[in-house]
Amino acid sequence: MLGQLQRIGKALMLPIAVLPIAGLLLRLGQPDTLNIPFMAAAGNAILNYLPLLFAIGIAVGFAKDNHGLAGLASLVSFEILSYGAKAIDASNDLSYLGAIVTGLWTGWLFNRVSRREVKGLDFMGGSKALAVILIALVSVVLAIPFGYGWPYVQDAFNQLGVWLGETGAIGAGLYGLFNRLLIPFGLHHVINTYIWFVYGTYHGQHGDLTRFLAGDPTAGGYMAGFFPIMMFGLPGAALAMILTAKPERRKVVAGVMGSAAFTALLTGVTEPIEFAFMFLAPFLFVLHAVLTGVSLFVCYLLGIRDGFTFSAGLIDYVLNRNHATHGYWLIPIGVAFFIIYFVTFYFAIKIWDIKTPGRDEGDDGSGASSFILDEYQAGRPAVAAAAAAPSAGYRAAFTPPNTGGEERPRSQGQAYVQALGGADNILEIEACTTRLRLKVKEMTKLDEAELKKLGASGVIRLDAHNAQVVVGTIADLLVDEIKETM
């Protein structure tokens, strides 16, 4: 179940990835910014076709090896289902929810059919062509139950939206809590998708995010509370980790965590900070999730409405300032959360001697931070940078030292394959933003200490065969190299 859910979470990332450019084009083209109509029209074009992008992107993300033909099959299926359902009942609107369902079932069926050997269709692409044709035929049949049954589905989700609206601040707080708690499993986008793209309706637009961009004054209640956490709270936690580092390592920690804090403030990307303490002090991460829920609760209660297309950072805050309701209140609330996070993290790290970056005694396998900082102090910043975030000069030789007298593999892909138990142990591997998603034969063969020495922030073992390795933004490049090595 978790293995399938994490694949769904990964698949949802593909269509969501186009939102930042859509939001930037839409807002920069408005009269209150650059006043360029064609730019606003381009942003609107992306938003208007988002359901199609969801159908295509989810199918591609769910298909083995991200095969593009799955996206084509899903597009055909979504159009057949949409027009077929409307022909039966004009009130049917599959929209985002229908696109998600279509993307998932077409991706699943494509995987089942496309790997079978089919003679006579080689000139058309073999079994993959058969999968597309079969999906189109099945869609024609499914259009009948969709046409008669979708009004009940719409009504059920509308009632759920009404219930969420009635819960008010409590619902917003619970959403914030679970949004953070699901991050270690990569499942937060499952609930994000409903809130952002399904919850509520305004002039044909669905979801808190799209309604906010369409000018709905009631939208943004489920997003505003993230700004104080992303822009202020987690940078406060980063400052606490800098000041609690050992004096001789504080300068290096300040460079690493300071850049992470600035990134969180500017863009709302907080994973570099969260993964710095998520595995070392889970109770601090739970506290972080609770505080996120409190922030959303307070902001909703105060009537603050603000939104984002990328994340709750300064860029989105400035661009959406004229769309927001009481958006200026987010600044003093953010300052309060900065103080709360700093004080809480500072004393928790000191009292419980949490081994955050710069506080560990040595490279004992407890985390990657010691190895990375030692490499900086030993005058090997290139190796340390490759371990911490090897995106620049990625394919350069990777030869970190070890105590066994043997040189490690020069390819980082080879090093990761060995740490994952060898090529025979890796059944499936794919990238999802900042993590490797794995299906392995034997979980015991994963060398967690070695993975952390190579720069991984942590390993999440979902069950006996499914795992995730948090590696940062190099995940896609790393998977390519691992597959080449295998």
Which residues form the catalytic set? 432
Distance CA 138, CA 212 (A): 36
User: Which residues, 6+ apart, have CB-to-CB distance to 380 below 8 Å?
Assistant: none
- Residue pair 231/313 in contact (Cβ under 8 Å)? The answer is yes
Q: How many CB atoms lie within 10 A of CB 166?
A: 9
b/e per residue 206-217 (b: at least 16 CB within 10 A): bbbbbbbbbebe
Distance CA 427, CA 107 (A): 19
- Residue pair 258/242 in contact (Cβ under 8 Å)? The answer is yes
How many angstroms from the chain centroid is the CA of residue 464? Answer: 24
- Residue pair 359/373 in contact (Cβ under 8 Å)? The answer is no
How many angstroms from the chain centroid is the CA of residue 214? Answer: 24
Q: Is 424 exposed, middle or buried (0-12, 13-18, 19+ CB in 10 A)?
A: exposed
DSSP letter (8 states) at residue 325: B
CA distances in angstroms from 24 to 18, 43, 408, listed in the order given: 10, 7, 44
